[in-house]
Amino acid sequence: MKKEILNIPTPFGEPLILYKNQWGPESGDTLSIVSGLQGDRLNGLMVASRLSRFLNDVESGNEAGYQIQGCIQIFPVVNYKAWETGSAHWPFDGQDVDLTFPGMESGELTETICNTVIQHTAESDYGIILQTGEKHYEEAPHVKLIAPNRKRRTLTRSLGFHTVREVAESPSLILNLAKQWDLMGLHPFILCAGKSQTYHPQYCDLLLDGIVNFMRAEGLLSHHREKASQRETAFFDAQSEYPVLTREAGLFYPEPVIGTTVKEGEKLGEVRDLYQGTVLEQIHAPEEGYVVTLRDHPMVHEKELVAILLGEKNRRWFWPFG
Amino acid sequence: MKTQTLLTRRSPLGASVNIIKQTFSAHRHKPVQRVSFVSGLHGDEFEGPYLCHRLIHALRQIQEAHPEAFQGEVHVYPAANPPALNHGTRLWPFYGSDMNRMMGPHPGAPLPVQLSQELFEDIQSSSDLVVDIHASNLHLKELPQIRIIEEFSEELVPLALQTHADLIWVHPMAGVFESTLGYNLNKSNIPTLVVETGICLRIEPDFVDRLFHGMLQLLHHLGVLTSLPSDMPPAPTPQVVYPRGVAQSNAKHSGLFVSRAKLGQRVGEDEIIGQVLDPVEGAVLEEVTAPGNGILFTLREQPAVHSGALLARVALNQEPKP
């Protein structure tokens, strides 16, 4: 059911209205799913919309065998004003919404929006944030895990992702929604796939399947025959990440290695001179690793980050040994 | 004066990104103190670069005429975020990253993170005291002030009293400061004064004049300079306010805020300082009043407001009783 959570008049026109969709009983376990923190991350928005349709169908009996058991909330759009402009941030304040939590009950518009999301998710047990790579980078589908512990690792396995990055504690996290959820006692998961300004249907399928599986595993959704599955999952901590930098400035031509495991010395791409087209540098994997992040924008400075590898020798399997 | 290109990255287009540091060394001896001035972390704030220009100009004259006056060392970083300054944007334009949210421990290796980290390390290693100069954001105009987080006030307030600022605002810690230059330097035991003055994308010469004399006064107070120019104005006594000594007015309606007050004027409680107007219907939505007796030190300049937006702050003559 679509519910209004914030209604603020604007100086010149229609009011700004934020919505959430909600299904199931308000008591009991609650999952909150948030997308649209930035106005250019399309995969999350598409998944939120598809998931809402699926849950509406379940609620109205059109998805055979499924029943909603817990409370599920979806917040498809947070930075409404940024979505109007098609940019990551609202140019009016240049504020990254995911650096504005917990916001303020009465403050600037972005602060008020963030606080509204916090208030509506405060009683939840689980939180999922749908994200893509940072500007100019594509990310292979993976989960980012804040403040990892055994319980959270176990929960993560139900999301159906092959790769989990455990985020190092840092003061810069404090204004992120995921960190605020962590401080409020929710189990937060950031699901990352793709790049900004691009809809990637295959990644969205993965995200959708993973979330539905998670809901079944945690009893928020049931199916009369099928059980939720858990798959093998590789966990990498911050020390397992190998940033790969350019030596030269120029145009970066990547190899199609995103989401694959490369061997030490394997070519990741090359940098060519912008004006002459000559090859300035070939970039090779410093070690064997899974390419979780790859530069998407060709223009690179010297010492620019073009890839992040997750070191294979640091991989920790959590299944079937967990 | 010694000019040093502190950090550089070649760009694919040709020109490099360079961060420049100007150093005035102590005459003969080991410096009594090493003081650094940093400006331009946000590229739409030009009060800082202008203040740095005034300082460099004056210090060069002193060094030429009276080199023996330099008993300490002064570093000036006039343009800490050159790409943003060249584009007049708060954030690093190609990435939309805020350099003043990447100081101290920070994950990742994109270019703005690398340069923020390297800049932080250089300032940390070459300073006993730092002045980090900012203008306000796009929306608010500020009287020249020093902002101090409560936990550092004992050490910083006596230093701030030298700066000719109108106001010293001791305020509580908040998450937003965790990754800033000022907080992280103070945490690493390098006293750092954060200046906030004027409004972004503009220069208020009178405000900068005051601060310019204040910074020379501070250098003299610290023994870095043994003499001052003969035309120094008398030092004003700044008002020191603590958290309960600041009151603010927020918009109750969305509309156009038109101010009827002047920054720096003394106001009485409930005195009308502006109106919020409905430009479409021609209605007056609210009369905005001063939240207490005192000096108006923050005033909204960007007229388009949503309800909840900050319109004004007053440094109260007297703290309200608890």
CATH number of the domain bearing residue A264: 2.40.50.100
Same domain, A209 and A257: no
What is the total count of domains within chain A? 2
Across the A:B interface, residue pairs with CB atoms under 8 Å apart total 123
| Residue with more model confidence, A269 or B320 | A269
- To the nearest 10 degrees (0 to 180), the angle between helices A177-184 and A109-121 is 40
- Mark yes or no for CB contact A109/B308 under 8 Å: yes
- Check whether residue A252 and residue A124 sit in a common domain: no
pLDDT value at position A266? 98
Q: What is the mean pLDDT of residues A208-222?
A: 97
- Chain A closest-CA separation from residue B111 CA (Å): 6
CATH of the domain at A133: 3.40.630.10
Q: Which helix (H) or strand (E) holds B58?
A: helix B47-65
* Model pLDDT for residues B298-319, shown as the tens digit of each residue: 999 999 999 999 999 999 999 9
pLDDT digits (tens, 9 = 90+) for B58-86: 999 999 999 999 999 999 999 999 999 99
Q: How far A171 CA sits from the closest chain B CA (Å)?
A: 6
Domain final residue pick, A212, A231, A250:
A231
Q: Are residues A136 and A179 in the same domain?
A: yes
Residue in B253, B297, B295 with CA at minimum distance from that of residue B275: B253
Question: Quick one: pLDDT at residue A315?
Answer: 73
Please check whether residue A154 lies inside any domain of the structure. Answer: yes
Q: Tell me the H-state helices in chain A.
A: 42-59, 80-85, 109-121, 150-157, 177-184, 201-217
Residues A195 and A264 in one domain: no
A168 shares a domain with A31: yes
Please say whether the beta carbons of B277 and B284 come within 8 A: yes
User: What does the pLDDT average to over B270-289?
Assistant: 97
Q: What is the pLDDT of residues B25-48, one digit of tens each?
A: 999 789 999 999 999 999 999 999
- A144 and A27 in one domain? yes
Chain A positions touching B102 (Cβ under 8 A) are 172
Give contacts of A301 with chain B, Cβ < 8 Å.
9-12, 17, 111
Position A322 pLDDT exceeds 60: no
Average pLDDT, chain B: 96
Report the mean per-residue pLDDT for chain A: 95
Is the predicted pLDDT of residue A91 greater than 50, yes or no? yes
Contact between B10 and A302 using a beta-carbon 8 Å cutoff: yes
- Residues A189 and A97 reside in one and the same domain: yes
Query: Is residue A244 over pLDDT 90?
Result: yes
Please tell me the predicted confidence (pLDDT) of residue A286: 96
Q: What is residue A319's predicted lDDT score, i.e. its pLDDT?
A: 55
- Nearest Cα to Cα of residue A314 among A243, A234, A245, A258: A234
Cross-strand bridge partners of residue B146 = B168, B195
Q: So what's the pLDDT on residue A20? A: 98
Residue A322 lies in a domain: no
pLDDT of residue B178: 94
Q: Which domain does A189 fall in, by range?
A: 2-231
Give the closest-approach CA distance of A95 to chain B in angstroms. Answer: 9
Domains of chain B: 2-240 (3.40.630.10), 244-316 (2.40.50.100)
Determine the residue among B5, B10, B138, B186 to mutate to test chain A binding: the one whose Cβ has the most chain A Cβ atoms within 10 Å: B10
How distant is the Cα of B95 from the closest Cα of chain A, in angstroms? 6
- Cα separation, B141 vs B301, in Å, equals 6
Within this chain, do residues A195 and A270 fall inside the same structural domain, yes or no?
no
Mean pLDDT score, B195-206 = 97
Q: What is the pLDDT of residue A313?
A: 75
Q: Are strands B310-316 and A126-131 parallel, antiparallel or unpaired?
A: unpaired
Residues of B in contact with A303 (CB under 8 A): 9, 111, 114
Chain B residues whose beta carbon lies within 8 Å of the beta carbon of residue A89: 91, 96
Which pLDDT belongs to residue A321? 46
Nearest CA in chain A to B252: A106
What's the pLDDT score for residue A320? 47
Residues A203 and A249 placed together within one structural domain of the fold: no
Q: How far is Cα B214 from Cα B221, in angstroms, rounded to an integer? A: 10
Would you say residue A272 lies in a domain? yes
Last-in-domain residue among A231, A263, A288: A231
- Best probe of the B interface among A37, A301, A303, A304, by most B CBs < 10 A, is A301
Helix, strand, coil shares, percent, chain A, to 5? 25, 35, 40
ipTM of the complex: 0.91
CA distance linking residue A308 with residue A254, whole number of Å: 13
Residues of A in contact with B9 (CB under 8 A): 249, 301-304
Radius of gyration of chain A (CA): 20
